[in-house]
Amino acid sequence: MLKSVIGAVVALGLGALPVLADYPEKEIQGIIQWGAGGSTDTVARAITPHAEAALGGNIVMQNVTGGVGAIGLNQVADAEADGYSILFGAENPLLYKVMKLGDKDYSDFVAINIIARGVPILVANVDAPFDTFPEMVEYVNANPRAVKFGSTGPGGLPSVVTAMINSKTPLDVTFVPYDGDGPALTALQGGAIDVMPAVLGAAIEGIKGGTMKPLALFDIEASPQLPDVPTIVSTNPEFEEMLPWGPFFGVFVKQGTPDDVVTKLTAAYAEAAKNPDFEALIDGRGFKMLSLSGAEADTFLSEWQATTSWLIHDAGLTKASPEEFGIAKP
């Protein structure tokens, strides 16, 4: 009772203050759509303290997982568009519509910052009887179904990279499903699977330590962290038209958030992305810094959505055609 009285008194006091000029006037809730310890989580938690400093506010981070990230996304989409709920998301929502995982994607949000992009890499168990991508193709063709590829759910990085490979050189392999590239890479090191398409950041330390073997980097240029790993383009130039491609992380607020709030958040995160410590983290983990916002971010998102939706649609992985949602074929 007493508490509510105090509350009412303070509320009256606060009501007298100008509201918008003071954003943020309370804690901001930051929803991370993937679990604690994952790439999205690490990047979100690493950039946010720098953004808090630039913003002069407090962002309370929380992991809301499940439904391939849709639960967290919907939670922000259902909250008020006041800038007090922000979403830390990865690329998955752009495929929700075609995968029938949800009816919302980033077109319902304003991109504050598309922080960084990951680079896909094909890694193999150290004892696998092949060392390069062409050797792998040869071995797979000689031994149909014998090679075990790790996979995660349809629409995830492994499925997209596999779709890319299949669109050029169809492979007859067995897919063993995992619930993320972390567990799959562990299984790769233990020999439960032979090959895994993963994001460089998750595999980089294993490659450096010799517990897994890189086959090919799915990018146009070699990675500065692993200059000796050949790119797929160097052995199979036919892949160039689909690259560069990669998963990404970004910060988003709901569509309809006041402009000055968007401006403040955008400035804060752009500032944070320039922090040397954060840049070192992004480089060290083999990501490519983007730090896109505004129109640049929108173009990036729509191009990404078009390329990937059609790629996995042509691979027969989607539940609805991208055309239904007005996603034009690139």
Partner 1 sequence: MDVLQSLLIPIIDLKLLGLIALGTFAGIYVGAIPGLSVTMAVSILISFTFSWEVYPALALMIGIYMGGVYGGSRTAILLNIPGAPAAIATALDGYPLAQKGLAGEAIGIVTVVSFIGGFIGILALALFAPLLADFAIRFQPRDYMLLAVLGILLVGSLSGDSLVKGIFAGALGIGLGSVGMDPLTYTERFTFGTDALRSGVSFVAVMIGMFGISEGLMQLHTVNTAAVKQKIGRIIPSWPLVRKHLPLGLQTSSIGTVIGALPGTGGDIAALIAYDHATRVTRNPEVPFGKGAIEGLVAPETANNAAVGGAFIPMLTLGIPGDAVTAIMIGALFIHGLNPGPMLMVEQPDMFWFIVSALGLANVFMLIFGLTGIKMFVKIVEMPRAMLLPVILLLSIVGAYAVSNSLADVYWMLGFGVFGYFLKLYGYPLGPVILGVILSRLLDDNWRRAIISDQESLWMLLKGTLASPLSLVLFVSVVLIFVSKTPLWGMIFRKKAG
Partner 2 sequence: MQTTQPRRPGELVFTIIMVLGSLFLLWSAYGISGFEALSAPGAIPMVTAATMAICALMILRDTLRRSPVTGEKLERDILPMPVVVTIVMITAYALLLKPLGFVPTSFIFLTVMIRYLARCTFARAVLLSVVIVAVIYLVFRVVFTVLMPAGIVPEAEIIAWVSGLFAGEGN
Rounded to whole angstroms, how far apart are CA atoms 234 and 81? 47
1: Cβ contacts below 8 Å, ≥ 6 apart: none
**144 touches partner 1 by CB under 8 A:** no
Q: Which two tokens stand for residue 51?
A: 């953004």
Nearer CB in complex with partner 2: 25/135: 25
Q: Quick one: which of 14, 31, 13, 12 has its CA closest to 22?
A: 14
Using CB under 8 A as the criterion, what x/- string covers residues 197-216 for binding partner 1? -------xxx-xxxx-----
Among 37, 53, 62, 277, binds partner 2 (CB under 8 A): 62
**172 touches partner 2 by CB under 8 A:** no
CB of 79 to partner 1, least distance (A): 11
Nearer CB in complex with partner 2: 62/141: 62
CB of 10 to partner 2, least distance (A): 5
Size of the residue set binding partner 1 (CB under 8 A): 56
Per-residue CA distances from 77 to 84, 254, 256 (Å): 12, 6, 11
Rounded to whole angstroms, how far apart are CA atoms 299 and 57? 30
Among 18, 20, 21, 29, binds partner 2 (CB under 8 A): 29
Q: Which ranges of the chain does DSSP label H, i.e. alpha helix?
A: 2-15, 39-55, 70-78, 96-99, 133-142, 157-168, 181-190, 200-208, 232-235, 259-273, 276-284, 294-314
Side-chain half-sphere CA neighbours of 246 within 13 A = 25
Tokens 């959505």 belong to 305
Q: Which does 10 bind (CB under 5 to 8 A by kind): partner 1, partner 2, none?
A: partner 2
Size of the residue set binding partner 2 (CB under 8 A): 18
Burial of 262: CB neighbours in 10 Å, binned 0-12, 13-18, 19+: middle
**66 touches partner 1 by CB under 8 A:** yes
Tokens 């009285």 belong to 5
Rounded to whole angstroms, how far apart are CA atoms 247 and 29? 24
**25 touches partner 2 by CB under 8 A:** yes
**221 touches partner 2 by CB under 8 A:** no
Nearer CB in complex with partner 2: 31/136: 31
Nearer CB in complex with partner 2: 26/319: 26
**118 touches partner 1 by CB under 8 A:** no
**42 touches partner 1 by CB under 8 A:** yes
**71 touches partner 1 by CB under 8 A:** yes
Among 166, 189, 234, 235, binds partner 1 (CB under 8 A): 189
Nearer CB in complex with partner 2: 26/274: 26
Nearer CB in complex with partner 2: 8/220: 8
The single-letter DSSP state of residue 194 is S
314: Cβ contacts below 8 Å, ≥ 6 apart: 163, 167
Rounded (10°) angle between helices 157-168 and 181-190: 70
142: Cβ contacts below 8 Å, ≥ 6 apart: none
By CB under 8 A, name the binding residues for partner 2.
Answer: 1-4, 6-7, 10-11, 13-14, 25-27, 29, 56, 58, 60, 62
By CB under 8 A, name the binding residues for partner 1.
Answer: 35-38, 41-42, 45-46, 48-49, 61-68, 70-71, 74, 99, 101, 145, 148, 152-155, 174-179, 182-183, 185-187, 189-192, 204-206, 208-211, 277, 280-281, 284-285
